[in-house]
Amino acid sequence: MSEETLCFHFDVDGDDFTSAGQASVQVKKLLRELGVSPEVIRRVSIAMYEGEINMVIHAGGGKADVLVDETSIVIILTDEGPGIPNIKQAMQEGYSTAPDNVRSLGFGAGMGLPNMKRYTDHMEIESAPGKGTTIKMTVEL
């Protein structure tokens, strides 16, 4: 990160599935104003949106920080949810612990984390049962 890093902070409300995605919409607008290319904006906003949905489904909400500098966009998602017992298993496409009602809303197919990895250049997950989850995703510019 260079000295000129722009930082944006968002609180993700865990009580309302309807509002999930608001932070991603904001980030999309901000990046557009900053003149970031449409392809990069799309990758960042999809990855962050999936992360937001995950925080609402599994963790009762959380926080999202987005750092932008000349070389990269970094998204850091932090929650105090139940944590992920087996990260390798959670990364498999199709593996899901989401409740059935989430599936009826169009999510919970075990695509969230794989999508986040697919659309970003680097992704790190720190998580343990009872200790919440922190996910750091980087998209190079």
The residues binding another protein (CB under 8 A) are: 17-21, 24-25, 28, 38, 42, 45-46, 49-50, 53, 105-112, 114-115, 118
The dihedral sign for the CA sequence 64, 40, 111, 22: positive
CA distance 83 to 122: 20
C-beta of 78: minimal distance to another protein in Å?
A: 21
Burial of 83 by CB count in 10 Å (0-12 exposed, 13-18 middle, 19+ buried)? middle
Task: Closer to another protein by CB, 115 or 134: give it.
Answer: 115
User: Could you give the C-alpha distances from 19 to 12, 49, 52, 65, in angstroms and in order?
Assistant: 9, 11, 10, 17
C-beta of 21: minimal distance to another protein in Å?
A: 4
Task: Closer to another protein by CB, 46 or 76: give it.
Answer: 46
C-beta of 45: minimal distance to another protein in Å?
A: 5
Task: Closer to another protein by CB, 2 or 104: give it.
Answer: 104
